[in-house]
Amino acid sequence: MDAFLQSHLLWLTLTLAVYAGASWIFSRLHLGLLHPLLVSTAVMIGLLKLSGVSYATYAESTDMISFMLGPAVVSLGYVLYEQIDHIRRNVTSILVSTFAGSVVGVVSVIAILRITGADSAVIASIAPKSVTTPIAIQLSEQSGGIASLTSMAVVICGIFGAIAAPYVFRIFRISSPVAKGLAFGSSAHGVGTAAAVKMGAVEGAISGLAIGVMGVMTALALPLVAVVMRYLEL
């Protein structure tokens, strides 16, 4: 039985099956709390706890999924190439809006956490929540943050952004594909980009571009904002 539970093929198959099932349920019910990433994560944690299998074993079993993240990100380059005309026509608005989003995101998080009495490690961990995980972890560690807390904040931010964005678009009557793509990529990174691709090619391409631009902008804005807010004693 132990050998069966330690099988790499078992956990890889279970992960794919659980995510496929969660996606099917979400496509039928369209409830935000049933987002596939949220449901599949909760189910897999429960299965690992019940079986007593360590996370190290699970991570090794699902290495193939982690490996495929690289080609998936690179494939966005082709989508960007197809939409190069949209990017050229909107390059100024893309840069300005992404920079504004990075500053507002960092300032709001630092201010709220300081007001609620969070310590410096927590602030450093959560401040880069709106960029993709590898960049967020690097920024967090350089500022004295906790990598695991940063990863959790990034995932929660991505899920919430992907769920909330369509409602925000309807409420404020946002119809521009470029604006939608920027909103997804700047606030919900990879999870948001997956949702943007489902909306359309332009939304997906701009969202993929916004992930990279947001990473650069946040890396520049984060230390500057931290210094200014410390000077103002916020």
Torsion-angle region of residue 132: left (phi > 0), alpha (psi -120 to 50) or beta? beta
Torsion-angle region of residue 202: left (phi > 0), alpha (psi -120 to 50) or beta? alpha
Mean pLDDT of 6-10: 85
Is residue 156 domain-resident?
Answer: yes
Is residue 203 domain-resident?
Answer: yes
End position of a domain, from candidates 61, 82, 100: 61
The predicted structure's pLDDT at residue 172: 93
Is residue 67 domain-resident?
Answer: no
Torsion-angle region of residue 144: left (phi > 0), alpha (psi -120 to 50) or beta? left
Are 43 and 77 found together in one domain?
A: no
Q: What percent of the chain has pLDDT over 70?
A: 97
Is residue 68 domain-resident?
Answer: no
Predicted confidence (pLDDT) per residue in 23-53, tens digit:
999 989 888 788 898 899 999 999 999 999 9
Q: What is the mean pLDDT of the chain?
A: 87
Mean pLDDT of 146-165: 90
Q: How many domains does the chain have?
A: 2
Are 54 and 119 found together in one domain?
A: no
Question: Within 13 A of 203's CA, how many CA atoms are on the CB side?
Answer: 21
Is residue 66 domain-resident?
Answer: no
Predicted confidence (pLDDT) per residue in 189-234, tens digit:
888 998 898 899 899 999 999 998 998 989 888 888 777 766 665 4
Are 47 and 86 found together in one domain?
A: no
Are 94 and 210 found together in one domain?
A: yes
Are 49 and 82 found together in one domain?
A: no
Is residue 110 domain-resident?
Answer: yes
The predicted structure's pLDDT at residue 157: 92
Q: Which domain holds residue 5?
A: 1-61
End position of a domain, from candidates 61, 87, 104: 61
Are 50 and 157 found together in one domain?
A: no
Is residue 1 domain-resident?
Answer: yes
72 — pLDDT class (breaks 50, 70, 90): confident
Predicted confidence (pLDDT) per residue in 107-142, tens digit:
888 889 888 988 888 988 999 998 988 889 888 888
Are 9 and 95 found together in one domain?
A: no
Q: How far apart are CA 40 and CA 14, in angstroms?
A: 10
Are 149 and 102 found together in one domain?
A: yes
Are 56 and 98 found together in one domain?
A: no
DSSP H or E run through 150: helix 147-171
